[in-house]
Amino acid sequence: MVKRVISTFDLEQSQEAPSRRVLVIIPAYNEEESLGRVIRNVHAAEPEVDIVVINDGSTDATPDIAEGYKVNLVSLPYNQGIGSAMQTGFMFARDKNYDIAVQVDGDGQHDPREIAQLVEALIAGDADIVIGSRYIEDRGYITPWQRRIGIVILAAVVSVITRQRITDPTSGFRAINRRAIHFCAQDYPFDYPEPEAVVLFNRANLRVHEIPVTMNPRYGGQSSITPFRSAYYMVKVIMAIVIGLLRKRPDAAGEVEVVRKTTQA
C-alpha cells in the first residue's frame, strides 16, 4: 500500500529515473457515456499511472462508473465548473506528492496513448507545463468555424502577452510538473481556465511548451459550449487575462524561483 515517495526530485539530472509518480486527473461532469471508455484507455496505455476522477457534482451515473474501476474518486458536493474541479485534482496531486499530473478530459477527446509524449516532453526538462496542441500540425481535427475564430483570437492574445507562440491555449490536454502542481493547487482560474492559466504560468516564470497531438470528437454527452456561451467566455477570459496583467506577479514557490531571486540580489 505504501508507495515510495521521491523527495529529491531534480528535473535536470534524473533522466534515468523511471520512478516518477504520474497522476492522471480526469475531470468529469455528467460523462456516464464516455468515462468508462476513457478510464479503460488510460489503463491500457499507461498501466503504471494512478488515476483520480474528479466528479464535478454529476447528476448522472458518473461516480458509479468510476467506482467500478481501480481509480481514486473525489466527488465535489455540487457542480463547480472545470476550473474548480481541476484545482481539486491538483490539490489531490500535491497532497499525495505526485511528480507529474496529466489532465485528460472525461469526454474522450484526448487520446491516452499520447500521455507518454506529454510526460516525455516534460521530463526532457525544458518545460514546467506541456500542452497538447491540435493546431501545430494538421491532423484532421475539425473545429466548427465559430469556435476556431475564438481560439485564434485567444491564441493571438495569449501569444502576444507571453511573447511565445501558443497555438492551442484552450487545450485541456496537459502535463505539469511538481512546481506547476503546487502553483495550480494554490490558485487556478475558474469557469474556462485554460487560456488564463497559460498567462498565469508565464507570469509566474513557469515554462510552457506545446507539442502536437491528435484529438478525437467527443465519445458522448453534450459539449458545454454553445455559440452564446463561447462569445461570453471569450469576453470573460480576455477580460480576466487583461486584469490579471494588472495584478502583482504570482509566485511559483520552488527551488528555481529561490535561485532566481538570490542571483538577482
Partner 1 sequence: MIAGPLILFIIVLEMVRRRRLREDYSLLWLGTFSVLFILSLFSRSLLDSIADLMGIAYPPTALFVVGFGLLLGVMLQFSVVITRLAKENKSAAQHIALLAARVKQLEQMLEEQDTK
Footprint of partner 1 (CB under 8 A): 1, 54, 72-78, 80, 84, 87-88, 91-92, 95, 190
Output 18 or 77, the one with its CB closest to partner 1.
Answer: 77
Output 119 or 237, the one with its CB closest to partner 1.
Answer: 237
b/e map of 218-243 (b: 16 or more CB within 10 Å)? bbebeeeeeeeebeebbeebbebbee
Task: Tell me the backbone φ, ψ of residue 199, rounded to 5 degrees.
Answer: -65, -40
Cα separations (Å) of 206 from 197, 199, 212?
Answer: 11, 10, 20
Beta carbon of residue 186, minimum distance to partner 1 (angstroms, whole number): 11
Neighbours of 44 (CB within 10 A): 10
The Cα–Cα gap between 1 and 10 comes to 25
List, in sequence order, every beta strand (DSSP E) within the chain.
22-28, 50-56, 72-76, 100-103, 129-133, 174-177, 208-212
Q: Name the packing angle between helices 82-95 and 178-186 (round to 10°).
A: 130
Output 73 or 115, the one with its CB closest to partner 1.
Answer: 73
Beta carbon of residue 91, minimum distance to partner 1 (angstroms, whole number): 6
Output 154 or 184, the one with its CB closest to partner 1.
Answer: 184
Beta carbon of residue 246, minimum distance to partner 1 (angstroms, whole number): 17
Query: 99 forms bridges with which residues in the sheet?
Result: none
Beta carbon of residue 31, minimum distance to partner 1 (angstroms, whole number): 17
Beta carbon of residue 76, minimum distance to partner 1 (angstroms, whole number): 5
Output 76 or 238, the one with its CB closest to partner 1.
Answer: 76
